[in-house]
Amino acid sequence: MDSKQVQGAAPDAWGARKWAGIGAAEVMLLLVAAVWGGSYAVAKQATQQLPVMEFIALRFGLTFVVLLPALKPLFNAQWRQGLAVGGLLGANLLAIFVCETFGVSLTTASNAAFLISLCVALTPFVEWWLLGQRPAQRMFWAAGLSAVGAAMLSATSPADIAVGWGDALMVLAAFLRAVMVCMTRRLAWRHSMPALTLTAVQSGVMALGAMAMSLATSNGAWHMPPATASFWWGMAYLVLLCTVFAFFAQNHAASRSSPSRVSLLMGSEPVFGALIAGYGFGETVGAWGWAGGLLIVAAAWWVTWPSKRV
């Protein structure tokens, strides 16, 4: 619906439509948060059975096959633009998943889930950098709180605060996620493409990129994936829920809402991640780590909380 169609609508009616749409988008994003929260523990187990790059290639190769029917809209006069947009976003997404997957293999799943939510505090600054929209004053405070929380999360006590390689990779992945949200907003808005089509192109780019990187770093060696039921159930969860559904929801929301609002899902994702890692996979988070993680979550929710300014 364009602006001309709503010019004659009453302000109250338009406001009701607007807030109803936002409510539906936020419910979808919270569902994504719950699904993604469980992905860290599942991915950590899978990467113990298959090298990281081969795992990424398999995951997104299967996703591309599932989404092949969604490529139909690309067969038109603007297919080059569609491939360019999907290719650029797919390359950025591959960088995110390389950092995330190596990161979660080097740290705990609960740490990974908390640290990725730094994306929420970083998104307004990336939005300022890429889209020219200066963040509000509270964003600077929230970013500082998130940084303190990230340092606390990787320590067992105040005396040994340090950031390991796994934690550092998760922080880099959080920054790249913020870039991804802003790039999706900027590019998908200019070149209208169905969310599933964009997800399919991204998945193809990621599968090919991960396969090429794996072959280049292993002298052409390739491992067969394990035949265990746990591995394939985990892969089904990651492909169908964490990738097909979640990326569709994120792409759908990112092209229709502000990047800071879309990153709301990152604010609740670590809560689900820590709970699933703890109760489902037996991980433990110390009191100091919980304090740091909840500080990150609090900063994330503060960033996305509606301003009182009219």
Residue 94 has a pLDDT of 92
pLDDT of residue 299: 75
Give the model's pLDDT for residue 212.
Answer: 92
Contact 118, 146 (CB under 8 A): yes
Instruction: Note down pLDDT in tens along the chain; length 310 residues.
Output: 343 333 343 334 334 444 344 456 666 777 787 888 888 888 888 988 999 899 999 999 999 999 898 888 777 656 677 778 888 888 999 999 899 889 888 887 777 877 887 787 788 788 888 877 777 777 777 777 777 777 676 555 454 445 578 888 988 998 998 888 888 777 765 666 777 788 888 899 999 999 999 888 877 778 888 989 989 999 999 999 887 888 777 766 666 666 656 655 555 677 777 777 766 666 666 777 778 777 777 776 776 666 654 3
The reply to whether 130 falls in a domain is yes
Q: How far apart are the first and last CA of the chain?
A: 25
Taking the C-alpha atoms of residue 38 and residue 277, their distance in angstroms, rounded to an integer, is 7
Q: What pLDDT sits at residue 265?
A: 54
Q: Is residue 18 part of a domain?
A: no
Residue 261 lies in a domain: yes
Is 11 contained in some domain? no
Helices (H), the chain: 3-6, 11-37, 39-47, 52-66, 79-106, 109-116, 118-131, 137-153, 165-190, 195-217, 229-236, 246-254, 259-262, 264-281, 287-304
Residue 21 lies in a domain: no
Nearest by Cα to 110 from 291, 272, 268, 234? 272
Is residue 145 domain-resident? yes
User: Could you give the number of structural domains in the chain?
Assistant: 1
Q: Is residue 24 part of a domain?
A: no
Q: If we measure between CA atoms, which residue out of 226, 173, 214 comes closest to residue 48?
A: 226
Cα-Cα-Cα-Cα torsion 107, 111, 117, 121, nearest 10 degrees, comes to: -90
The whole-number pLDDT of residue 261 equals 60
* Backbone torsions φ then ψ of 224, nearest 5 degrees: -75, 135
What pLDDT shows up at residue 196?
A: 79
Domain coverage including residue 291: 41-219+230-304
What is the pTM for the complete model shown? 0.71
* Domain assignment present for 27: no
Longest dimension (CA), the chain: 66
Residue 232 has a pLDDT of: 94
**pLDDT at site 142:** 76
